[in-house]
Amino acid sequence: MSNQPASVIFGEQPAVWRDVVRVAREGVQLSLSAGAWERVNSARQAVERFADSGHPYYGINTGLGALCHVVLERNQLQQLSWHTLMSHSCGIGDPLKREQVRAIMCAAVINYSHGCSGVSTAVVEGLIRLLNEDVVPRVPAQGSVGYLSHMAHIGLALIGEGDVEYRGQSMPARRALDAVGMAPVVLGPKDGLSLVNGTPAMTGLACLTLADASRLASWADVIGAMSFEALRGQLDALSPAVIQRKAHKGVQQSGENLRLLLQDSQVLARSQGEHLQDALSLRSMPQVHGACRDQLAHAARQVNAELNSVTDNPMVVKEEEGYRVISQANPHGESVAMACDLLAIAVCEWSSISERRSFRLVTPQANKLPPFLTHGSGVKSGMMIAQYSASSLVADNRRLAQPAVTDNYLTSGLQEDHLSLGESSALKLDKALENAFYVLAIEYLLAAQAFDFIEQPLFGSGTGLAWRQLRERVAFYEEEHSLHLDIRATYEFLRNEKSLAALCRLFPQLNS
């Protein structure tokens, strides 16, 4: 993160997932508009009045879940919020990545900025302070059925409990708060429930996957175009006469990308008419990549809609006669969970068709290249086993493409009997993306190796640049070192947010 990051203000314009990514990954400073603070303060004053009324209001002066009929005294409400964090912070396993925790915290602040939570200003200020000081709570990744546990662990850090990461070190939260001069937050009515409630966890996680999937979409077109050229594909399949007659925006986008990346290719100019029809993994790239792009666009709309939704229960709603407390189900994350599950299918397809192209690049019967892309095949295996690795990762992605949202369990003593499993959807999507980037890295290595075997090459304006970019980092493979080192280096290049910059300057539509 930079020493002097830029800033983003939430509260007036609709929130977008890219701003969450900026806060989570780039260290952009976060603040709320004056209007947002007015909404937060006004709703909080209403909660304080409800807490003092003696009338039961769910989650404000009652127990939670199946204990909603237990009415508490005013002097018990601070204790209720404290106990809520303690009992709900029961996550399991290894911690989330730093950027994932930061994305969740940012999404929570956006949720509170709508002014329907009734959460105390101290909680919102505390979350913003943790983000801007880069104090990152340690949050176990597993154990959520759609909400509760991830945010509970974040809430612990606010009150000086649990562990955090600060300046590259893991330490008790109280020590980090002291280091930045921040007092632990004192919780009041509804604060504990507001901290563990809603969909910020799945929504924050989903924002990061959208950023990764967007980059994957661009690289899939670039690397697929390289394979198309190395395998001497027939350009008619990519022609506007074909693509314009497929009325899907994503198909038209990928088709245009492929044509532009391949333009000026003398390799293809010399090979047109060599055969009538290519294998589907080549000629259906616009249709497959494009369908995946459309699922990405759908997921982005769903996530943006969720960021601009109120996802607390109960909701504290301002009406003409004053505030009203409404119990409802906006914390149900069905929309985000389903979007992540559908995007996981798209990620599987991006990786699946990539592996099929890799297979054709290393298979002598499917190309005019040296067997397994090596000199002296026999004593050398070349790139043969890299394709095996890609196959294994695609098999993993097929399992990860199974939906989480269709699972269901009974929780909270019959109260919560339909669950979204949204965090599970987002986390398995994150894993599928990691696999897919490795699959594309393998295809990239193979396509570049194939380019090295093509005599008197004049490649496409985009594919040639992509080849040269890789060769600046990874040399032609001669089996003098373990191949996994080259795969890892290529993967890291693809994951680098700056790696597409040169290609996008030449082809701006790649990043759209």
- Annotated catalytic residues are 58
Q: Tell how far CA 399 is from the center of its chain.
A: 18
Q: How many angstroms separate the CA atoms of 331 and 446, rounded? A: 46
Length of the chain in residues, anyone?
A: 512
Name residue 325's beta-bridge partners. Answer: 316
Q: How many angstroms separate the CA atoms of 425 and 344, rounded? A: 8
Strand intervals (E) in 280-359: 315-319, 322-326
Q: By the 8 A CB rule, do 101 and 154 touch?
A: yes
Phi, psi of 317 (to 5 degrees): -110, 130
Nearest CA-CA partner of 198 in 132, 297, 136, 127? 127
Helix or strand run (H / E) with residue 166: strand 163-166
Q: By the 8 A CB rule, do 331 and 147 touch?
A: yes
Strands 315-319 and 322-326: antiparallel
Q: By the 8 A CB rule, do 367 and 454 touch?
A: no
Residues 6+ apart with CB under 8 A from 198: 108, 111, 117, 147, 151, 311, 312, 313, 330, 331
Q: By the 8 A CB rule, do 193 and 84 touch?
A: yes
Local structure of 380: helix, strand or coil: strand
Q: How many angstroms separate the CA atoms of 124 and 360, rounded? A: 54
Strands 7-10 and 29-32: parallel
Q: State which amino acid sits at residue 343.
A: L
Q: Tell how far CA 220 is from the center of its chain.
A: 17
Helix or strand run (H / E) with residue 170: strand 169-172
Q: By the 8 A CB rule, do 350 and 220 touch?
A: yes
> Structure tokens of 88?
């709900």
Q: Is the bond into 314 cis (omega within 30 degrees of 0)?
A: yes
DSSP string, 213-224: HHHHHHHHHHHH
Local structure of 164: helix, strand or coil: strand
Nearest CA-CA partner of 86 in 145, 143, 139, 155? 155
